[in-house]
Amino acid sequence: MPPDFHHVANPLTQWANLPSFMLGELLFITSALVALFHAKARGRDHLLIWCAALIAGTANDFIFMALPLVDNFWQAQGTIMLTPRMPLYIPCVYLSFMYWPTVSARHLHLPRWSGAALAGLAAALFYAPYDIIGAKFLWWTWHDTDKPIAFRLLGAPSSSTLWVLTFTGSFAWLIDHTLRGRQTLDRNAIAAGFLKVAGLSTALMMVQMTLLQQLDGGTPGPIAVTVAFALYAALALPPLFRKPDAHHHPADRTARLLLALYLPALLAIGLLSVPEHHRSTGLHQPIGPCHQLSTDITGLTRFEYLCPTDFDEPFALTDEAARQSAATWYTIVGTPHESPTTWRLGLASISALAALLFARIWRRRAEG
């Protein structure tokens, strides 16, 4: 364990160093708890989705940290840490961007492919503001020269958006395949469903991303994201605009309220926070000799270490960190927005698009 690692941080210290992050932690932990309340009120299928999102999402994060191909991110030290690389709020993030879009799409009773595509689209838009804010305010840091995350929009890699789209779409498809038409599920069927969802969601996501990123020459870029969104939208949106009105389950008021508050709260965190007031001490890309190449399991090359004098990330090293050699635990500080108006307008526009999609979903009701 790093000498400065704590499973539980002093809240006052956390607020002084990473105020927006502490608010983000609280927002997503609240979202996960509200999702549990909603799932219990709605019954078996929703509880299974809640548990499956927790299992599949957390498993995916551990897989990503274990594989050299995608071990290209480092989480900030949160108020409560499960491990030095896993804050408690991260499983809550997975729960949130997988549970809410999936149950939102399912309540419309769409065809399987349309419902999965709608869940993927909704998840990508639900996640995008978080991705933009977190990258800027040091909620995590990315590898500086990793090619799969090189193309970024408002600081968020296009591969991250593509991952959420395809991962949640795969998860929703597998969930529907497990639950559709089943009036009862015994313990063996439930266990088999969990294993299928946890084991195959990441695999199906990787198949889709591998195919789509060929459009950009082998690494995810703007063409892959555009084509993926177009394909998912073609499956999802036409049925969404044809469904007639009926009545909601009373517990769905909870879902509508959470979704109505989540996006404005996250947007407020992004617009009102000051990046240069943020300071993150924890695990980051190892500092070492500049421009030393390494090769991942796909044959792509990147610089193995962060070069203290030549990097392009939204943070600065402290003087002490810049002098360290082979350091993995060190302190970084936030930097001002390069184009604050563009960043804020972009964040607000994406948040508004997400809000419009969820409003449309919950305005249209499934047939009796």
Give pLDDT, residue 70. 64
Give me the percent of the chain exceeding a pLDDT of 70: 90
Q: Which amino acid is at 125?
A: L
Predicted confidence (pLDDT) at residue 75 exceeds the cutoff of 80: yes
pLDDT in tens, 280-308: 999 999 999 999 998 876 678 899 999 99
Determine contact, residues 313/144, Cβ cutoff 8 Å. Answer: yes
Question: What SS3 class is residue 241?
Answer: coil
Determine contact, residues 333/278, Cβ cutoff 8 Å. Answer: yes
Mean pLDDT of 258-276: 96
Question: Taking Cα atoms as reference points, which of 34, 38, 185 lies closest to residue 107?
Answer: 38
Determine contact, residues 44/36, Cβ cutoff 8 Å. Answer: no
Residue spans per domain, the chain = 11-363
Give pLDDT, residue 205. 92
Q: 156: which strand partners?
A: 153
Predicted confidence (pLDDT) at residue 195 exceeds the cutoff of 60: yes
Question: Taking Cα atoms as reference points, which of 97, 135, 124 lies closest to residue 258?
Answer: 97
Cα–Cα distance measured from residue 172 to residue 103, given in angstroms and rounded to the nearest whole number: 9
Give pLDDT, residue 196. 77
Give pLDDT, residue 65. 67
Beta-strand ranges (E) seen in 10-104 are 73-75, 81-83, 86-87
More confident residue, 71 or 85: 85
Predicted confidence (pLDDT) at residue 368 exceeds the cutoff of 60: no
CA-based R_g, the chain, Å: 20
Mean pLDDT of 325-351: 94
283: left (phi over 0), alpha (psi -120 to 50) or beta: beta
Predicted confidence (pLDDT) at residue 245 exceeds the cutoff of 70: no
* pTM to 2 decimal places: 0.92
Cα–Cα distance measured from residue 207 to residue 304, given in angstroms and rounded to the nearest whole number: 26
- CB-based burial of residue 49 (10 Å sphere; 0-12 exposed, 13-18 middle, 19+ buried)? buried
pLDDT in tens, 318-327: 988 878 777 8
Least confident of 37-51, 82-96, 310-324, 353-367: 353-367
Predicted confidence (pLDDT) at residue 366 exceeds the cutoff of 50: no
Cα–Cα distance measured from residue 359 to residue 343, given in angstroms and rounded to the nearest whole number: 24
**Average pLDDT along the chain:** 88
Cα–Cα distance measured from residue 345 to residue 72, given in angstroms and rounded to the nearest whole number: 28
Cα–Cα distance measured from residue 280 to residue 268, given in angstroms and rounded to the nearest whole number: 21
Question: What SS3 class is residue 88?
Answer: coil
Predicted confidence (pLDDT) at residue 244 exceeds the cutoff of 60: no
Mean pLDDT of 268-273: 97
Handedness of CA 36, 132, 164, 117 (dihedral sign): positive
Maximum alpha-carbon separation in the chain:
66
Determine contact, residues 286/112, Cβ cutoff 8 Å. Answer: no
pLDDT in tens, 22-38: 999 999 999 999 999 99
Least confident of 176-180, 253-257, 301-305, 318-322: 176-180
Q: Which residue has the tokens 């002490």?
A: 320
Determine contact, residues 122/104, Cβ cutoff 8 Å. Answer: yes
Q: Which amino acid is at 216?
A: D
Q: Which amino acid is at 187?
A: R
User: Distance of CA 354 to CAs 240, 264, 266, 350, Å?
Assistant: 15, 11, 12, 6
* Residue partners of 236: CB distance under 8 A and separation at least 6: 105, 110, 114, 115, 117, 118, 120, 121
Q: 142: which strand partners?
A: 73
Determine contact, residues 212/227, Cβ cutoff 8 Å. Answer: yes
Cα–Cα distance measured from residue 356 to residue 359, given in angstroms and rounded to the nearest whole number: 5
pLDDT in tens, 96-146: 999 999 999 988 888 889 999 999 999 999 999 999 999 999 999 999 999
Predicted confidence (pLDDT) at residue 274 exceeds the cutoff of 90: yes
